[in-house]
Structure formats: C-alpha cells, structure tokens
Amino acid sequence: MQTAMTPRSRKVRVLATLGPASNSPEMIARLFASGADAFRINMSHGDQDSKIPVIAAIRALERETGRPTTILADLQGPKLRVGKFAEGSVMLASGHEFTLDRDPTPGDSSRVELPHREIFEAIEEGARLLLDDGKLVLRVTSHGHDWITTRVEVGGKLSNSKGLNVPDVVLPMAALTDKDRSDLAFAVDQGVDWIALSFVQRPEDLAEARKLIGGRTALLAKIEKPSAIARLEEIVEMCDGVMVARGDLGVELPPESVPPLQKRIVEVSRRMGRPVIVATQMLESMITSPSPTRAEVSDVATAVYDGADAIMLSAESAAGDYPVEAVSMMNSIADSVEKDPAHGDRVHFTVTRPDPTTADAIAEAAKSIAATVSASAIVCFTSSGSTARRIARERPSVPILVLTPKLETARRLGLLWGVHAAHTRDVESFEEMVAKSKRMALRHGIAEAGERMVVCAGVPFGTPGATNVVHVVRLLGDELRGRG
C-alpha cells in the first residue's frame, strides 16, 4: 500500500473516475496503490445517496495511508436533447429539410420537438446543430420564436432524446441546472475538495457556483464549449483550476482543431497559475482491452510533456473491464516521460513570468536556487495553498513538500504538479520552521541526510499570503527525531 511516507516519484497527477467498476473500498484502494492521486465522482450518474459510501471509502483510505486525498465532484450541467419520435427513431437523409419546434407531439422524418426555449432565442441563420455526439449535422436555414428549419448536411438515424450541441452561438443558459445546484450543495456538505462546473461559456457562468460554494471548496471550469475559448483568459482568472474536456470540444469543433486548443488551454492555465487537467478518451481502448493503442500512449505522453498538472481517466476506470490496469498504465507512461532527459526542457516551453509580488519572486527564486545548489526538494509552509501553487507554476526539477495546518488545503493540492502535501501543526518561529522542514522531509522520504533543501515560508508565521522567506538548509542524519 502506498503510504504518506512514500511519495509518488512522478510530478504529474493521475485523476481516476470512480463508477460501477471501481466504487468499492477494495477497488478504490487498488487504484490508489496503482497510481491514482485523486478521484473524480461523476454526478451525472446515480443518485446522491449512492455517492455517500464512495466518499466515505476515500476518506477511510486517507486515514489508513496518512496521505491527504483529493475528491473532485463533476456536475452534469445542462443536457440539450431532442424530443421523442412516434416510431422511436427516424432516418434523416442528407439534403432534406428538417424542423425543430416547441410542439410536444411525437416527431417524424420532417420534424421533432426541441424542448429548450433558450436555443430558439439565440439561434442564427447558418448555425450548425449537431445531433447524437456530432454524428448528424443540421444547418439552420430559417427560424422563428418557436421553430427552426434546417437542412440536413450529414444524415443518419436519429432516436428518441438524443443529445444536441449548438457550437456556433452563445446560449442564454445558466451553467447550473436545478439538479446541479442540489448536487453542488450535497457535494460541499460531504466535504469534497473540488467542484467541476460543466457547460462554461463565459466567466459570468462561474459566479453563481462560486457564491454557492462560499469558499468551502475549490472551483474548476471545464472548457468544452467553443464560446469558452473566446474568453479563455477571463474564465481561467475566475476559477481555481481548469479541465480540458476534449469530448465535447471534439464534437463541437473539427477534430483537428482540438490538439492546438489543448496546448493553448494548458499554456494559459499554467501561465496564470491554475492547475490544469487533460481529460477524455486518453486510454479509451482500455475500456475493453488490457492494453492501450500506441496512439493513446502518445496522447498521454504529450499532455505530460506539455506540463499539465493532471491527466484523467473517465470510463476506463469508472466502467471499463480493466480499471486497475488503466491506472497502472497511465502511471507508467507518466513516469517514463518524466524520466526522459528532455522532459525538463519541454515543460518549460511555456514561459511563466512571475507577477511583480514578493511571493512570486520567492517562488521563482526557490526554483533557481534549488537547481543551482542541487537541492533535493523545495519545502513550503502554507495555510491557503497559494505558495504551493506559485512554486508549482515554476515547474521546478525537484519535488515540492507542502506543510499545512489545514487538512482541506492539503487535500485540494492533490491536483497540483509536483506537490506532496502533508497535514501538520503550524510553526511559530524561524528555528521551528527549519527543524520541522528537515524532520518532515526525512519522514516523508523527500530528501536524505546530507542533502540540501530550499525552504519557503512567510514571516510572521500564520499570516496567509505573506510568503517572504527563502532559506537553504542541509539535512543531518539525526534530524528524524522529534514530533511532526
């Protein structure tokens, strides 16, 4: 069993989605032992009561291992769907006309209900409507307050209640549905560490979720709408973390545009100091196969080379036949990439210039000093986690040991690149800071006797956001004694 005393050797984090194949305490423990650093709970599936024992199992594992463990609750968001057909399904022929309207009468090959008033308010002539994950494509030729006439550009079979995407317009819809509000309140009450918000189109979409959360957990924006790309920096500024949700991006945009967008989202997030997760179909074939394709391995490796904070498994670990193998494979790929001598140079292709603040200057200095004196680790003391985020943004070549008196802070940092967080009592003096950093580094296997470390903290101690000290220490063999 992986324990708090044995940190991961890699810096990128692995986020595993839990589901029918992996919800049991035994499977959660196996996923953790195989390399999962954090767990995603998808609120789209199952009821709230079914999530309670899953969260309890993760917290029990946390107590057993002594390692703060991260839980991310992913909200469903609005789901746009067409209505039902009299025969259950129809065939739409390319070139034919097809109408969507507000009439609840079961549809046929000429029309069907579209029960979303907001689409009729925002639609424009020439806009595309994508049905069934983009398998069918309609082009709007005319529209009114309760009807939209289209021409079928890509036809096929259309069944009851299939999903619909509207990539070319910003819809006047809130990112939170009534279900999302209920799920958000439940997840916060259960003590999850991150809330992921779906269907983000603009920075304003984050405001309601932020208000409902009330500072009790961190907020992550899923970038899955083309409209979000147009205001990407504003959205990143408004959230605590970002997910590159490539599934819906790949439906609403040409597939060839997704890789450069992925790199852009990762770059912007890193530059602005927000942890960024690359998600969706990373090892898709491992849902039914014990091994991935070479292309999937390359895809995961690319995200690691780009310096993403975390890489995510979806159905592979939630509902696949080989959840443990999928986590183990992702762990192995990431570990192999980070051992590549070229990895250090590649993750610094993104230039992360510090803001003109003392805390940012200290973080940049810590990275440079660690490299210059060949330190084995950077240790930082933090209450809010902001110091850890600043240092991680610099992508230092050594592990980051974060010591915090707040368990919730330690848990939230589980999605942050290179961080090994430990929950411990705060320090009250410079001498105590030095002594504790040495003891905890030895105890957690971050550094060994005779090695140097760079220590960052804020004086006066216990003052959030006051990072103003960087100090180099050398560990001695007898410094493991004492309390943590």
pLDDT tens digit string along 328-354?
999 999 999 999 999 989 988 887 877
Q: Global pTM?
A: 0.91
In a domain, 202, yes or no: yes
In a domain, 406, yes or no: yes
Residue with tokens 């008196």: 405
Averaged pLDDT for residues 410-438: 93
Say yes or no: 233 and 312 in one domain.
Answer: yes
Say yes or no: 110 and 234 in one domain.
Answer: no
> Any alpha helices (H) in 98-219, and if so which ranges?
117-122, 178-189, 205-213
The number of distinct structural domains making up the chain is 3
The fraction of the chain above a pLDDT of 70, given in percent, is 96
Say yes or no: 363 and 342 in one domain.
Answer: no
Say yes or no: 126 and 153 in one domain.
Answer: yes
The CATH number of residue 380's host domain is 3.40.1380.20
In a domain, 7, yes or no: no
Model pLDDT for residues 142-197, shown as the tens digit of each residue: 999 999 999 999 999 999 999 999 999 999 988 899 999 999 999 999 999 999 99
Cis upstream peptide for 460 (omega within 30°): yes
- In this structure, are strands 97-101 and 147-154 parallel, antiparallel, or unpaired? antiparallel
Selecting among 81, 84, 216, 474, the annotated active-site residue is 81
In the predicted model, what is the mean pLDDT of the chain? 93
- pLDDT over 50 at 75, yes or no: yes
Say yes or no: 204 and 246 in one domain.
Answer: yes
In a domain, 454, yes or no: yes
In a domain, 352, yes or no: no
Q: Would you say 184 and 213 are in contact if contact means Cβ atoms under 8 Å apart?
A: yes
- pLDDT over 50 at 482, yes or no: no
Selecting among 17, 217, 280, 387, the annotated active-site residue is 280
Q: Is 222 a catalytic residue?
A: yes
- pLDDT on residue 479: 52
* Euclidean distance between CA atoms 202 and 230, whole angstroms: 9
Which amino acid does the sequence have at 163? Answer: G
* Euclidean distance between CA atoms 108 and 97, whole angstroms: 12
Residue 415 neighbours by CB under 8 Å, 6+ apart: 13, 15, 37, 38, 70, 72, 194, 241, 275, 277, 309, 310
- pLDDT on residue 478: 57
- Note down the domain range covering 97: 89-165
Higher pLDDT: 116 or 483? It is 116
Host H or E run for residue 17: strand 13-18
What confidence tier does 483 reach under pLDDT thresholds 50, 70, 90?
A: very low
In a domain, 145, yes or no: yes
Taking residue 332's Cβ as centre, other Cβ atoms within 10 Å add up to 15
Which of the listed residues 165, 193, 217 is the one where a domain comes to its end?
165
Averaged pLDDT for residues 446-450: 89
**Phi, psi (deg, nearest 5) at residue 46:** 80, 165
Which of the listed residues 346, 374, 409 is the one where a domain comes to its end?
346
The fraction of the chain above a pLDDT of 90, given in percent, is 81
Say yes or no: 156 and 134 in one domain.
Answer: yes
Say yes or no: 379 and 439 in one domain.
Answer: yes
The CATH number of residue 95's host domain is 2.40.33.10
Selecting among 10, 40, 390, 411, the annotated active-site residue is 40
Radius of gyration of the CA atoms of the chain, in A: 24
In a domain, 481, yes or no: no
Structural tokens at position 175: 């990112």
Which of the listed residues 312, 346, 380 is the one where a domain comes to its end?
346
Selecting among 13, 67, 222, 438, the annotated active-site residue is 222
* Euclidean distance between CA atoms 314 and 291, whole angstroms: 16
Per DSSP (E only), the strands in 107-155 are 111-113, 128-131, 136-143, 147-154
Say yes or no: 198 and 341 in one domain.
Answer: yes
Say yes or no: 317 and 374 in one domain.
Answer: no
The CATH number of residue 221's host domain is 3.20.20.60
- The residues that bridge with 159 in the sheet, in sequence order, are 89
Say yes or no: 281 and 416 in one domain.
Answer: no
Say yes or no: 23 and 142 in one domain.
Answer: no
Say yes or no: 270 and 339 in one domain.
Answer: yes
In a domain, 479, yes or no: no
- pLDDT on residue 484: 47
Closest listed residue to residue 459, CA positions, set 387, 371, 400: 387
Q: Is 280 a catalytic residue?
A: yes
- pLDDT over 70 at 287, yes or no: yes
